[in-house]
């Protein structure tokens, strides 16, 4: 029970200090803010363009494909830990798994989503 | 660190994600909130399997991560299509459907 | 370390293997005739899967993969129901994707969704059920926005994705808590009295809430009208029936598997959701002008009637629920089939007023629609009447009198909007209206077939009900 008590005190401290910081900065800070406060860097170069440029969709596409296949490959690590004990069954299973992934990759290729231009 | 600490942290993290889901409007931010919630679940599972039941729960985490990545891929594609079509991803401003 | 290999009996999963390989193959189709080939192949695969579950081959039932997967007679029945719904939804999608060159993607995704529903139905483990829900949901997110020409479709798709993702997260948190309480994610882990009943109850409550999203139970129904309206009609038809069947299969499994401490709140939770769904669904349907939105809210209300079966599991709740689902699939998909035949490219923005004078223009279609509406309202001599009759009887038998009274009251309310459709078709003059589209033979034929089936369930109800009852021990 002592651990949940300490957790509770921790939470109270965290919430309290967050609230205190917000309150103090609101009290002490001067309002309204000047226009210069909205600039990313208050001194130095002025920004040349907006900070959220639009990227080409194909960046997203490649990134998404990478994420999906990358996460699937994680299962290879789990498999590698026990492959000795699984014997032939494990090997066959993993090839089936990879074949399914390959089918997905083949589909992506066929749809032309791996072409950059 | 005790089991309670890990599980409570996970549930708090889940609550943060859920609160963000309810309060925010941008579809991409909502997607991020869902990811926060999934990772909070992973934390809870890791806690239970580390302190109580052994490795089984840690395998679940990989399954959840894989499913979450697939969902995020579909979701990002859908949100990107919406944004290209309507010029915004703010769900509070998109309301052609109601009734 | 020695690892006991799971017993793998692939023969049990033959229908799913067929669905998976067909779905994957369809995605690779290409060329001018890809649309038609994809439709034919997808429907053939779903039909074979339906027949394999309806007339089980030796080894069709059984459990494998260390008990993660188990097909019993009840699971086979629910597989038949999901296959039936998907088959009908694909048949009425023909019109929708007629001029679209992406037919192979459309039907491939529908088959993947069907595969996900299969997994949900036969899984015996919450984590496998989660995988099934994702396999079901991911194609549907895409399908909901398949009609890129309509921005309502995009919007509905994103809304569906976000709320679906939220419900998945709830389901997972529930699974994690369940795992914490039971030490397993399997359904079997519940027979013993759990060490932490509160944790177990919290986990199951979250799981049930997430399933509530799939069956559009109040308060988790908000997405349904928007998504149905924005989606192609075929997808809306699929969404309105098939995921409900799969989610009810899971709910039944949970309800039947878990007696004892930490789960005694489930009947009450289901009863509250049932009552709320009936009230909200019916009252909201009253003021809809859009036919698809009206059907969406009607689906919410029908889900409420079906939920009544879960508190009555000790009695005749499960066969009553399965019978209701069967009739619901027939009549609701029938209503969507009629909508497709008269929509003429209008899709989800079809108004109830657009049906005016349909009786004089296309008497057969109007008659079919009248059958579906009368059945949805629960009037004899259609199947809808007997579905409600068996359901109310089962609930009464378990002492849920107030729930039945509420259901009867709400059924009376529902007469107004269902019969209004009939009145619009038969009693208003055709104001010159829109030209009748040059026939949608597949959807029209499907509407006729489903109308006959709806009538048949009203003529032979006890025979069908007893057949279904034999499935449940």
Task: Judge contact between C410 and C279, C-beta under 8 A.
Answer: yes
Say what percent of chain C tops pLDDT 90. Answer: 45
Does A82 sit within 8 Å of C28, measured CB to CB? Answer: no
Residue C193 has pLDDT above 90, yes or no: no
Tell me the C-alpha distance between C323 and A20, whole Å.
61
Residue B99 lies in a domain: no
**Is B97 inside a domain boundary?**
no
Most confident of A5-9, C304-308, C427-431: C304-308
CATH of the structural domain A3-111, one choice from 1.20.58, 1.10.287, 1.25.40, 3.90.320 = 1.20.58
* Of the candidates C231, C242, C365, C369, the residue with the CA atom closest to the CA atom of residue C299: C242
Task: Sketch the domain layout of chain C as residue ranges.
Answer: 280-473
State the residue for tokens 């769900």.
Answer: B91
| Residue B84 to residue A78, Cβ atoms within 8 A | no
Whether residue C212 contacts residue C304, with contact meaning beta carbons closer than 8 Å, is answered with: no
Residue B9 lies in a domain: yes
| Mean per-residue pLDDT over chain C, rounded | 86
**CA nearest C69: which of C198, C187, C169?**
C187
Contacts of C109 (CB under 8 A, 6+ apart): C23, C139, C140, C142, C143
Q: How confident is the model at residue B99 (pLDDT cuts 50, 70, 90)?
A: very low
Q: Write down the pLDDT at residue C50.
A: 92
- Look at residue A42 in the predicted model and tell me its pLDDT: 67
Residues A4-17 have a mean pLDDT of 88
Domains: count for chain B = 1
Do the domain assignments include residue B94?
A: no
Tell me B50's DSSP state.
Answer: I
CA A65 – CA A61 distance, rounded (Å): 6
pLDDT band at C371 (very low <50, low <70, confident <90, very high): very high
Q: What is the CA radius of gyration of chain B?
A: 17
Facing A72 at nearest CB: one of B4, B66, B72:
B66
Sort out which chain A residues have CB atoms less than 8 A from C2's CB and list them: 85
Q: What tens digit of pLDDT does each residue of C50-63 get? A: 999 888 888 777 77
Rounded to two decimals, what is the model's pTM?
0.88
DSSP label at C244? H
Q: How confident is the model at residue C1 (pLDDT cuts 50, 70, 90)?
A: very low
- Is B93 within a domain? no
Q: Is residue B92 part of a domain?
A: no
pLDDT at C243 over 90: yes
Compute the average pLDDT of residues A59-80.
84
Backbone phi and psi for residue C54, each to the nearest 5 degrees, phi listed first: -75, -40
Residue C390 has pLDDT above 80, yes or no: yes
The pLDDT of residue C5? 66
> Domain range spanning residue B7?
3-86
What pLDDT score was predicted for residue C312?
A: 85
Q: Using the predicted structure, report yes or no on whether residue C245 has a pLDDT greater than 50.
A: yes
Q: CB–CB of C160/C227 below 8 Å?
A: yes
For A86, list phi and psi in degrees, rounded to 5: -80, -25
Tens of pLDDT, residue by residue over A24-45, are 988 887 766 677 666 667 677 7
* Residue A113, pLDDT score: 77
Chains meeting A at 3+ CB pairs closer than 8 A? Answer: B, C
pLDDT for B76: 87
Q: What is the CA radius of gyration of chain A?
A: 27
CB nearest to A110's CB, from C1, C2, C28: C28
Kindly list the domain boundaries of chain A, sorted by start residue: 3-111
Query: A residues 21-60 near B, CB within 8 Å?
Result: 57, 60
Cβ atoms of A61 and A117 closer than 8 Å? no
Q: What is the CATH number of the domain that holds B77?
A: 1.10.287.3510
**ipTM here:** 0.93
DSSP secondary structure, C305-341, as one string:
HHHTTTTTTTTTHHHHHHHHHHHHHHHHHHHHHHHHH
Interchain CB distance below 8 Å, B80 and A72: no
Lowest-confidence pick of A51-60, C323-332, C365-374: A51-60
């Amino acid at each position: 029970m002592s651990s949940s008590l300490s957790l509770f005190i921790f939470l109270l401290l965290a919430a309290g200090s967050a609230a205190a910081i917000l309150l103090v900065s609101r009290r002490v800070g001067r309002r309204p803010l000047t226009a210069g406060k909205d600039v990313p860097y208050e001194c130095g170069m002025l920004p040349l363009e907006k900070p959220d440029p639009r990227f080409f969709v194909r960046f997203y596409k490649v990134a998404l494909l990478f994420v999906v296949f990358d996460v699937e490959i994680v299962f290879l690590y789990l498999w590698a830990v026990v492959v000795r004990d699984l014997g032939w069954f494990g090997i066959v299973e993993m090839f089936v798994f990879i074949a399914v992934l390959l089918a997905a990759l083949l589909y992506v290729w066929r749809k032309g989503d791996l072409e950059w231009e | 660190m005790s089991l309670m600490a890990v599980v409570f942290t996970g549930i708090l993290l889940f609550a943060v994600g859920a609160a963000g889901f309810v309060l925010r409007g941008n579809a991409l931010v909502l997607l991020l909130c869902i990811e926060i919630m999934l990772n909070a679940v992973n934390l809870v599972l890791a806690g239970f399997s580390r302190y109580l039941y052994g490795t089984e729960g840690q395998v679940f985490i990989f399954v959840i991560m894989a499913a979450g990545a697939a969902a995020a891929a579909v979701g990002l594609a859908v949100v990107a299509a919406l944004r290209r079509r309507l010029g915004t991803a703010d769900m509070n401003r998109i309301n052609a459907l109601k009734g | 370390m020695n690892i006991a290999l799971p017993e793998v009996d692939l023969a049990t999963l033959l229908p799913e293997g067929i669905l998976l390989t067909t779905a994957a193959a369809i995605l690779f189709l290409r060329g001018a005739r890809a649309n038609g080939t994809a439709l034919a192949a997808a429907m053939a695969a779903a039909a074979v899967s339906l027949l394999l579950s309806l007339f089980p081959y030796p080894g069709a039932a059984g459990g494998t993969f260390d008990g993660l997967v188990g097909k019993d007679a009840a699971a086979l029945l629910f597989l038949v129901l999901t296959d039936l719904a998907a088959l009908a939804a694909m048949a009425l999608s023909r019109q929708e994707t007629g001029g679209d060159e992406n037919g192979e993607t459309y039907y491939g995704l529908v088959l993947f969704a069907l595969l996900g529903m299969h997994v949900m139905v036969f899984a015996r483990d919450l984590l496998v059920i989660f995988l099934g829900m994702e396999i079901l949901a991911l194609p549907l997110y895409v399908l909901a926005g398949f009609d890129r020409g309509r921005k309502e479709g995009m919007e509905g798709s994103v809304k569906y994705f976000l709320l679906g993702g939220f419900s998945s997260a709830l389901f997972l948190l529930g699974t994690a808590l369940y795992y914490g309480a039971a030490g397993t994610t399997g359904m079997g882990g519940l027979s013993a009295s759990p060490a932490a009943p509160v944790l177990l109850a919290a986990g199951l409550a979250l799981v049930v809430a997430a399933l509530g999203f799939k069956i559009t139970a109040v308060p988790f129904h908000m997405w349904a009208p928007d998504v149905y309206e924005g989606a192609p009609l075929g997808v809306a038809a699929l969404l309105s029936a098939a995921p409900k069947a799969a989610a009810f299969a899971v709910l039944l499994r949970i309800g039947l598997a878990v007696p004892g401490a930490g789960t005694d709140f489930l009947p009450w939770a289901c009863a509250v959701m049932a009552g709320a769904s009936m009230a909200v669904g019916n009252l909201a349907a009253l003021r809809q002008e859009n036919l698809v939105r009206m059907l969406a809210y009607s689906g919410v209300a029908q889900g409420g009637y079906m939920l009544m079966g879960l508190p009555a599991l000790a009695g005749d709740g499960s066969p009553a629920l399965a019978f209701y689902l069967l009739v619901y699939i027939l009549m609701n998909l029938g209503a969507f089939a009629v909508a497709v035949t008269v929509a003429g490219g209008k899709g989800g923005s079809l108004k109830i007023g657009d049906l005016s004078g349909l009786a004089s223009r296309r008497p057969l279609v109007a008659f079919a629609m009248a059958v579906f509406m009368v059945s949805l309202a629960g009037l004899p001599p259609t199947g809808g009447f007997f579905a409600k009759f068996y359901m109310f009887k089962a609930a009464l038998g378990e002492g849920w009198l107030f729930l039945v009274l509420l259901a009867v009251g709400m059924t009376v309310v529902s007469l107004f909007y269902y019969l209004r459709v009939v009145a619009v078709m038969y009693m208003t003059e055709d104001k010159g209206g829109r030209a009748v589209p040059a026939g949608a033979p597949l959807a029209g034929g499907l509407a006729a077939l489903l109308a006959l089936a709806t009538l048949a369930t009203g003529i032979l109800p006890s025979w069908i009900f007893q057949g279904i009852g034999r499935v449940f021990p």
